[in-house]
Amino acid sequence: MAGKSRILIIGGTGYIGKFVVEASAKSGHPTFALVREASVTDPAKSKLIDSFKKSGVALLYGDLYDHESLVKAIKQAEVVISTVGQAQLADQVKIIAAIKEAGNVKRFFPSEFGNDVDRTHAVEPAKSTFAIKAQIRRAVEAERIPYTYVSSNFFAGYFLPSLSQPGLTSPPREKVVILGDGHPKAIFNKEDDIGTYTIKAVDDPRTLNKILYIRPRANIYSFNDLVTLWEKKIGKTLERIYVPEEQVLKNIQEAPFPINVVLAISHAVFIKGDHTNFEIEPSFGVEASHLYPDVKYTTVDEYLNQFV
């Protein structure tokens, strides 16, 4: 087998980025992280950057907004993975331009890691965020850059510790607020598993120019099923408060940023069913746990045990 591709991660010190960097280094890919020189001395990031170095990650100093440094960094790698945050999504056009100039990239993963933005019923303000991601997809395709889009659905670490209850830091033990009727099925994946599946896809011809959906069977739960699972674990029945869609839409309009974004995404998933309301067709997508049955992912059931 040929050697493993060299991977450059842009946005590696961000929320999901650090898991992707870790997975890349662990799997033996020569791994590069683009970091700003300021990040190295930033107390919030320096510890993380030290851990990158310890795991053999090569740091490349540069910036999304410095074209020359970007091209130079991209020339070191064959695969570019962007994990930039919401504020920089639109600026990924700069990465696309640098990839075109560098001319050596055999795969680009733009920053996705959520719902499939081409199959969404989201309302504002989530609608605009998803539209930016979709625009980046179209730009990648227009430039004929080989790609994989990772649709990883919900980050377990965002939604499961509180059972998606705003303001809580552990799952509820008295009452639970459920958006809609609680029937549509959502998907919750642990962040390090998302990193693992993403890196598995890098050199896989089956994921080329496809959407990689992370939909492991044991992590698909409706809101109602999730509450039932939690009730079994704590041996107690919770009071369920159902919020009708009209009220949820009103709450989104009245909520401040960024709560309104989280609420709008929750509406798309828990009420419109955007994680599971379509079949994955081979023409556009593949499913990670089918492609990589060797990955021992953390199930929702296992994840919740830490809070009992």
> φ, ψ for residue 123 (rounded to 5)?
-100, 170
- The answer to whether 155 touches 148, Cβ cutoff 8 Å, is no
Pairing of strands 220-222, 185-189: antiparallel
CA distance 206 to 287: 10
CA distance 248 to 257: 15
250 is catalytic: no
CA distance 87 to 96: 17
- Cis status of the peptide bond prior to 166, with omega within 30 of 0: no
Question: Which residue in the list 18, 45, 133, 200 is annotated as catalytic?
Answer: 133
Give the chain's largest Cα–Cα span: 60
Helices 259-266/245-254 angle, 10° precision:
160
Q: How far is CA 40 from the centre of its chain?
A: 24
Which residues are designated catalytic?
Answer: 133
